[in-house]
Amino acid sequence: MKDSWMGTIYNMKKTIIFTDLDGTLIDHDTYRFDQVEETLKRLKEGAVPVIICSSKTRAEIEAYRTSMGLDDPFIAENGGAIFVPQATFDSKAEGFVKKGSYLVMELGKPYDVLHNALTRMKAKEGFHMTGFSEMTIEQIVQHTSLPVADARLAAMREYSEPFLFFENQERLRFLKKLLREQGLQITKGGRFYHLTGNNDKGKAVEILRKLYAQNHTGTSLFTIGLGDSANDIPMLENVDLPVIIRKKTGRWEILKGNDSVMYSDKAGPKGWAESIDRILKS
């Protein structure tokens, strides 16, 4: 079975996988990824990049990449920035700057801008909401069930401010309107709302797609995207084959206007492994 599975990869176009983390590659509640380890190993053997595209911070994603044995580029904080290990591509990555061991393209607003905007809105309009910047590490642990060390990584925001909103949808729409007037936007993740600049996962995916195309001239790309939440929709709209991972509630996020969308039967990482296996064996 393994030879057949790997043979499919080699016979296809250059395959690239973009994937969300929470509720997709890792379990929504336990944050474990045991069910995908064998699939990730086979993808690495087949030289298939697995690009994490998450609302999580750079520090969080780096920890998962190490645990998963991944060394591919990644997209942090809902498309806030693209991080490419410097040895990834032969040709120059236009628009990227060197930062440490990465080539980086920042697409989002700096964290201070986002934090200050949310603070002003809360003070001016009396919104009942709590941002990450207002939470202690212990409170982050309470709301996420993360271990303390991981909660510290989650607090290292650079391009987004997650927050809890305790009012009705009409008030949320009003908040969105006020922030749009400042060039900012709100997206919905699995646990929090996220305040960002005019960036999203889809814009970052499109940039990386073009970069891979430039470095694989003469080879067609086949891109797969996997996600489970509303903030994954822009990513899924910018790949050849979007895959909606089932939520633990039994429901799926809705992706309109795309006949090629695939839906996993299982939730979380089990659904991730099931979907990749199905695609690359077909």
- Which residues are marked as active site? 20
Structure tokens at 68: 């998963």
Q: How far is 11 from 279, CA to CA, in rounded Å?
A: 13
SS3 letters across the chain: CHHHHHHHHHHCCEEEEEECCECCCECCCCCCCHHHHHHHHHHHHCCCCEEEECCCCHHHHHHHHHHHCCCCCEEECCCCEEEEECCCCCCCCCCCEEECCEEEEECCCCHHHHHHHHHHHHHHHCCCEEEHHHCCHHHHHHHHCCCHHHHHHHCCCCCCEEEEECCCHHHHHHHHHHHHCCCCEEEECCCCEEEECCCCHHHHHHHHHHHHHHCCCCCCEEEEEEECCHHHHHHHCCCCEEEEEECCCCCCCCCCCCCCCEEEEEEHHHHHHHHHHHHHHC
Q: How far is 194 from 53, CA to CA, in rounded Å?
A: 15
Q: Which residue has the tokens 């009396």?
A: 126
Nearest CA among 47, 102, 109 for reference residue 78: 109
